[in-house]
Amino acid sequence: MAEPAVAERWPKFRRRKVLIQPWYQLRVAATILLFILGYSLLLGFLMFYPLQQEFAT
């Protein structure tokens, strides 16, 4: 007997139609997004406020 084709040997990966714990995933995604925005604002303020003060004088 011949070996099965490669497509038959490997498991077929299918996209899930239902999210597992969608509210938890959305909450984690929103939290990460808020942290990224917060750190971006903080770092932007720390970098550009002194620069603006220096140019203003």
> Tell me: the pLDDT tens digits for 34-45?
999 999 999 999
User: Which residue range forms the structural domain that includes residue 24?
Assistant: 20-56
Q: Are 19 and 25 in contact (CB under 8 A)?
A: yes
Q: How many domains does the chain have?
A: 1
Q: Is residue 3 a part of any domain in this protein?
A: no
| pTM, full prediction | 0.57
Q: Which residue has the tokens 């077929």?
A: 12
pLDDT attached to residue 37: 98
Q: Does residue 14 sit within a domain?
A: no
Tell me how far apart the alpha carbons of residues 24 and 18 are, in angstroms, rounded to a whole number: 14
Task: Pick 35 or 14 by higher pLDDT.
Answer: 35
Task: With cut-offs at 50, 70 and 90, classify the pLDDT of residue 2.
Answer: low
Mean pLDDT of 19-34: 92
Asked whether residue 47 is assigned to any structural domain, the reply reads yes
Q: What is the mean pLDDT of residues 9-38?
A: 86
